[in-house]
Each structure stands twice: as C-alpha cells, then as structure tokens.
Amino acid sequence: MLGGGGGIARVLRALRGEDCRLTAIVSLAFGPRPESDDARTGAAVEDLRRSLEALAGNEGPLLRAIRRPLTVESAGTHPLGNFVIASLANGFGDHRAASCWLGRQLRARGDVLPTTVAPVRRVVEPSGAQAAPAPEMRLRFEGECLQAPAEAVEAIRDARWALLAPGSLYRSVLSASAPPDVARALRRTRAHVVWIANLELDLPETGAISPLDHVLTLRRHGVRVDAVLHDPDASLQFDTGDLAYQSMLSIRRPVCDPGDRAVHDPERLRAALRELIAPSATSRSGA
C-alpha cells in the first residue's frame, strides 16, 4: 500500500485484520517550509505516524500518547508522535529503523516503511512552457537521499497487489509512488497495481482536471497503474471505455460513505478490497 494522509490511514484500517501481510510505504517529503523547520517539527514524518496509528494492535497508552498535541515554542503544535519518530530517527540514524521500532511497541499489524531513506523536499511546478489557465504540473524532489530503503523495494517486488491509496494527487499519491526507486519497482513488479481512486476533485491542488487525467498524471510521473477501483456514484466519475483505451481495468464498487460521499466507507472499502485480493491472498499479498 502506497500513499499518505488520511487516505492511506483509512485503507489500512479497512485492511487491518484481514488475512494478508500489509506493508505501508509512505513519503518523507515535505513542502516549501525551510528544511530546518521541518527537521525540528518532524513534519516530514507525519505519514509514518498516521500509518502506524492505523495499524496499531490496540488502543493502549502509547497510542493515546503519540496522538496528543505537543506545543514546542520554536516549532508550534504537532502530535507528539511526530517528534518521537524524528527523535528516534536521529537516534537510530535511520527513519526505517525508527518506524519499525515504534511499530513493534504499538504491536502494529503490518510494516510501515519510508519511500526515501531521509526526508526530501517536494516541489510542484508547471511542466515546460505551457499557457494558463491550466498548465500541466510536475512533481520533483530535492535532496541528497532519494534512494529507497531496500525493504521498501523488496516489498513492492514481492507483493501480489500494490495498492495506491486515495488522497491528494501530488502531496500524497505521487509523493509516495514517484520517487525514482519506488516508481521503478512499481514498473517492474509482477503485482497488480491498483489505484483506489479519489471520490471528488481536489480543486486547490489539481484544479478541474478530468478523472482520466488523474491517472494519466500518475503515468506521466512514471507510476504504473493497471486498474482503477472507483465508485460509480462518486462525483469523480471514471469512464470504463476511457480506462480500457489506456489499457487500465475499471473496477466499479460502491465504496462511498452514505453519510459523507467525499470519504470512503470503511466497511464498503473492506468488502471491495477483500473481494479484490482474496483469490490470490498469501502471506505476502499487498504492498
């Protein structure tokens, strides 16, 4: 499972407890803040914390503690878990080791790995000389440590299903799947690569691009997509013929929350994913 933000956390909660081995692969990319500020606040490790919380084995005191907001005068207010992971990474000298250690303490039902060995800056900018009002945007990463941990590459290589979680297209989905080593692993894996599609447009980030353009944007960044799992009643409507023309399978399932059609319903999502992965579920069934 690759992604970030609330999207990957919701999918991980839906899959937690299923008969499969889960590996969440999340980004250490941060936005335009100065690197020193992000190092102090642990902002780059937000998705590691969210995913560990989603996979935690029980609602114990440690889980409650890392969720609590902590105010540090020089850094502002952030969940305690962000500072804990950043401090552990300094101690271990390795964000992967820090996440795995904290996962063991939380009895996480799966592994949570970073896409890069250290935090990198995420920059979204127009691609080439394109006219307004809607230039094609491109995500790039800045940093000296763009390589992925070997364990993340191996998880993608060995998976039967590589699921891309819904979420902010650039900030979450591409930040997790487009770093060079990760995108290369997705292109080479024998796993089925499925994007669990967003339910509505993310207007501040992507503008009013078409549903198909969402997946074509992933492909333009080198991210392979074999199939799209989408709700036929969502406001973001995918055309089966358009997906087929791009050699992508359309998987239509009701996954919207009936009370809030902007979010995925955990039970509906669990049922759709169980149906998807069950025929080939093994001890290594999903990255």
The ranges assigned to domains in the chain are 2-280
- Residue 187 token pair: 């292109």
- Residue 113 token pair: 């790995």
Question: Is pTM, for the whole model, over 0.85?
Answer: yes
Write down the pLDDT at residue 31. 81
Distance between CA atoms of residues 265 and 270, nearest Å: 8
Could you tell me what percentage of the chain is helix, strand and coil, using 3-state DSSP and rounding each to the nearest 5?
45, 20, 35
State what percent of residues in the chain have pLDDT above 70.
87
Write down the pLDDT at residue 183. 98
Superfamily name with CATH number, domain 2-280: CofD-like domains (3.40.50.10680)
Q: Read off the pLDDT of each residue in 60-82 and give the average, rounded to a whole number.
A: 86
Q: Read off the pLDDT of each residue in 186-195 and give the average, rounded to a whole number.
A: 97
Dihedral angle over CA of 221, 97, 282, 8, nearest 10? -50
Residue 76 has pLDDT above 90, yes or no: no
Distance between CA atoms of residues 111 and 99, nearest Å: 8
Residues 6+ apart with CB under 8 A from 218: 164, 169, 173, 174, 177, 195, 225
